[in-house]
A and B are shown apart, each in its own frame.
Chain A
């Protein structure tokens, strides 16, 4: 009987041992839009998170001082809904004891999650959220990986100005926080560039029929279309533009044409351009972590799809957090935040520096965007970097079709 008790005690000790080992695990919490309208981009972002976690754990974990931490994720489906995000981030912090947070996907959901993360003083790497307003509310623990929304159409406007100085622009955009923020800046940038906006109109994010809007574009005499929103509406707009043959010389849409899925539109995708946070062809020389080409190659091998900027952004969020923890030599959020405040680095995603101005703390101030255009070569569609010229991998096709 005594032996039995000893055996039980030994078993308990072993169990306790493995439980203590869990202390060397760093828990990162986040929500993913597994369902709902943001599912495609959000899952691409999740793949980026996962690939970073697997890389870190494969290399033995994150080194902070004399300890190594393996990464564990806790995540839930937010169903692309702000209400769920609020509820789930509270749960991630209070019940799941997440030590750090990744943001959900999209500006609207990040704004909601930030209310919770700041309330509990949790550090959150914000990715998939470009709308700048969230970073102007005095947040202390929010750090933005993406270039802010103000710059999404800047390259396209520059290109249009150089190719067609008398361009008449139709600015048609989704009625969501991100797209509206882009449109506000685009209006200003077009004005500064001396370009005329002949149609300025928003549409509901769940718009399915763009016939009436395209007729308005034709009526306005516009020769350039800038706008869109997220994937479903952007892809639908592109398809209908192709069907209705609006007489345009240039089309730049937000987000949708950056997805590899966009090629499934066939002829409707050709010539359409997108301001992109990242492309596999970029030639950044990273200070640490993989090169863009290495990341793209391994991502393709792991998930059997091409890496887009949502995935690259997800990976970069992890990489930057890892760097800050390693530099701080601690997982104390205050120390890690201090390292992120000091950070001025280049990764496979490009340059990164966060604003330390209290009025815009955490806003991304170093990362730059490129303009991609879908071009056909031997009957095969490819998304190529066409602007800025210094980063271009192919000459721009203007008019676009």
Chain B
């Protein structure tokens, strides 16, 4: 029983980081209808960013800020290079454009670093309880995720820029008629989405060692989380991540770990069929009726 409880708490802690990773993906989708397939590569970029900043002597959690800033700058650059011309075109175009960016980045990364495992040595005291340990890094990652999610909420709902992003997401033409420079807002939203991917990658790097190829697993999880939370809904993504972690935590004490992925993707398909707005999107829609 104790093991199950510990597994659930651990699942929720890690799930919140999955949620953060998915928030970037869902924000980009919600604002510009682009499924960003370079999301995994950007998570890895965040991991490497943290690794090199820590190697330079910066404390791991202080290094999150430059990773966030660099992620934003890279995201804005990437928007102008590969996404801008695809806005308003069939979704397949942007899908292919971001997939190409993903392949280029992974190819470059493999050429530069190979698939050698990188480890960011972060040591924080954990909480020991009857033989089990909740590691300090897991707790810190969950706290950092909550802070970042809170700041994102404040930005989107309390600032003019945030409101502009939401206006563009709601109706781009109407936003433009009201004088909002939508192209710049789209670039800003894309930068923000990439920054979120990078910072989630950096937080994951404080928990587990990683390779150039690690992004794929987290990108897949981000898709599951996004579908659970509802496409285009950042708050739903966070809840979806926590739900996914909870599901993993609940399942693993009762079945081999190999089965959790099967069940996760089973849930993914069921939610996609039964609740195309996502689980939390469906609940919100039902409440508003």
Contact = CB atoms under 8 A, between A and B. Distances in A.
Interface residues of A, number: 38
B128 to A, nearest CB: 7
Contacts of B260: 212
A39 B256 CA distance: 28
B73 interface: no
Given A39-B114, A243-B135, A204 B14 contact: no
Contact of B257 (A37, A40, A213, A264): A213
A209 interface: yes
Contacts of A219: 2-3, 253
A218 B253 CA distance: 11
B211 interface: yes
B137 to A, nearest CB: 7
Contacts of B132: 215, 218, 244
Nearest to A207: B257
Interface in B99-127: 110, 114-117, 119, 121, 126
B138 interface: yes
Contact of A216 (B128, B248, B253): B253
Contact of A211 (B14, B110, B253): B14
A372 B137 CA distance: 30
A243 B206 CA distance: 11
A215 B6 contact: yes
Interface in A202-226: 202-204, 206-209, 211-213, 215-216, 218-219
A50 interface: no
Contacts of B183: none
Nearest to B216: A206
A38 B6 CA distance: 33
B259 to A, nearest CB: 10
Contacts of A244: 126, 132-133, 135
Given A207-B257, A240-B208, A265-B209, A37 B115 contact: yes
Contacts of A243: 126, 133, 135, 137
Contacts of B257: 201-204, 207, 212-213
Contact of A40 (B115, B131, B137, B207): B115
B214 interface: yes
A212 B256 contact: no
B102 to A, nearest CB: 14
A209 B253 CA distance: 15
Contact of B116 (A40, A206, A245): A40
Interface in A266-293: 266, 268
B131 A218 contact: yes
A245 B138 CA distance: 14
B11 A212 contact: yes
B6 A239 contact: no
Interface in B130-174: 131-133, 135, 137-138
B123 to A, nearest CB: 8
B114 A202 contact: no
Contacts of B217: 206, 208
B222 interface: no
B268 to A, nearest CB: 16
B93 interface: no
Contacts of B115: 35-40, 232
A87 interface: no
A326 interface: no
| 4 closest cross-chain pairs (CB), A and B | A219-B3, A212-B252, A39-B115, A243-B135
Interface of B: 2-3, 6-7, 10-11, 14, 110, 114-117, 119, 121, 126, 128, 131-133, 135, 137-138, 207-211, 213-214, 216-218, 248-249, 252-253, 256-258, 260-261
Given A211-B138, A231-B117, A232-B209, 20 more contacts: A35-B110, A35-B114, A40-B117, A201-B256, A203-B257, A209-B207, A215-B132, A215-B252, A216-B253, A218-B6, A232-B115, A243-B126, A243-B133, A244-B132, A245-B133, A247-B131, A261-B116, A265-B209, A266-B119, A268-B119
Interface of A: 35-40, 43, 175, 201-204, 206-209, 211-213, 215-216, 218-219, 231-232, 235-236, 239-240, 243-245, 247, 261, 264-266, 268
